[in-house]
A = this chain, B = another copy of it.
């Protein structure tokens, strides 16, 4: 089996973590100076690995294998949340660069090359998965002026960052890109708790978001007897408690939900809450399961409308369809892990990734390494060195397995790797 240089992987990750370093964590929001400096450095790393690298109009760093007519596209994103950790998407970008480097040095004439990408703004300073959306042709021309952060449009921010004109976008090429593979930290506790090395992602959960609004009356909390109140706050509390019980009944084993935000008006100690707004988010790999949970939510809202003399209204705020990973790619990653004695599990991704966008267009696979204590998007985010090393090797081995698989389908006369 071909060995990659896992020490180099760790060193590259640590050098990348210096861009925007904040203690143990990093601050590299999209198009910030530190983000752009990191991207220029990554482009240089890709060039050193033998790729033709450039930075496109939204900040995507894209490194192509010269000479190859077909390629596996690999990578992730190198931007971070403002108080982020050092790994997150950076891990997948560095795993990709290492894979491309070894690939180029070992098989310089391989018919299937490795193209590496670091997508821009996965974290959504301007738009969640901005870079991969643009790469997939899903960024509308109008969004350059419509998307903004702190009063600066995407168009202006990109120009200020020295990026080329909006026409100059790197694009997915279905003739060239046989598949997309992404490595990422899990960002959750499952692998860590189970003591496993590798997560083979079966799909990325979809997400439905709702706002439940409870409308009561703002009465004096001293003078209004309990039975005369229209208490929107208590109505919201009871709703959430009952809603959770129903989600447990109708959801699947991996379904998750969250009541992450609640706001009272007027929200003061001595006034009965007039309005309560409750944010409800639910996720699952299956649209059917999400539809079942949504129906339970709507039914509960209808049942509770008028209870406690409080009106209930439910509004859908947003939805993302789940994405399935390609079964052959899952199998290749699983076999690669097995061959390296890596313990592993198949698991859904509850978080959104660039792979969610790519999966709509090309066969896509994803691999997780454990997050210590499940932490991410915080400076304490970390993964054991041995998991970083094993992950990089398994990812490389998986790519080789996938390339072999596709090679069998290529026209005759193409040289084997």
A interface list, Cβ under 8 A from B:
186-190, 193, 205, 207, 209, 219-226, 228, 231, 233-234, 236-238, 240-241, 244, 248, 254-262, 264, 267-273, 279, 281, 283, 349-352, 374, 376-377
Bound together, the chains give a CA A72 to CA B333 distance in angstroms of 90
A186 to B261, CA, bound (A): 35
Residues in B whose Cβ lies below 8 Å from that of A269: 209, 258, 260-261, 279, 281
Give the residues in chain B near A255, CB-CB below 8 Å: 226
**Closest chain B residue, CB of each to CB of A371:** B223
> Is there an interface contact between A259 and B233, defined as CB atoms closer than 8 Å?
yes
Which B residues are in CB contact (< 8 Å) with A187? 220, 223
Interchain CB contact under 8 A, A261 and B262:
no
A262 to B260, CA, bound (A): 12
Asked if residues B186 and A223 are in contact (CB atoms below 8 Å), the reply is yes
Most-contacted residue by chain B among A220, A255, A262 (CB, 10 A): A220
Q: Which secondary structure dominates chain A's binding surface?
A: mixed
Question: Complex: how many Å from CA A257 to CA B224?
Answer: 10
Smallest Cβ-Cβ distance to A280: which chain B residue: B269
Pick the 9 closest A-B CB pairs, nearest first: A188-B223, A222-B350, A221-B258, A223-B350, A237-B237, A222-B351, A260-B269, A237-B240, A187-B223
Do residues B272 and A224 form an inter-chain contact, with CB atoms below 8 A?
no
Which of B189, B256, B262 contacts A233 (CB under 8 A)?
B262
| A238 nearest CB neighbor, chain B only | B241
Which B-chain residue is minimally distant from A258 (CB atoms)?
Answer: B221
Question: If A188-B225, A190-B225, A259-B237 touch, does A220 touch B267 (CB 8 Å cutoff)?
Answer: no
B258 touching A225, Cβ below 8 Å: no
Most B Cβ at <10 Å: residue of A231, A261, A352 = A261
How distant is A351 from chain B, measured CB to nearest CB, in Å?
5
The answer to whether residues A221 and B281 also contact, given A234-B259, A241-B238 and a CB cut-off of 8 A, is yes
Contacts of A261 in B (CB 8 A): 264, 267-269
Q: Known: A238-B241, A270-B281, A281-B269. Is A374-B219 also a contact (CB below 8 A)?
A: yes
Q: Check B273 against A260 for contact (C-beta < 8 Å).
A: yes
Contacts of A186 in B (CB 8 A): 223
Given contacts A188-B224, A220-B187, A222-B205, contact A258 B270 (CB under 8 A): yes
Measured CB to CB, the closest approach of chain B to A221, in angstroms, equals 4
Closest to A376 in B: B220
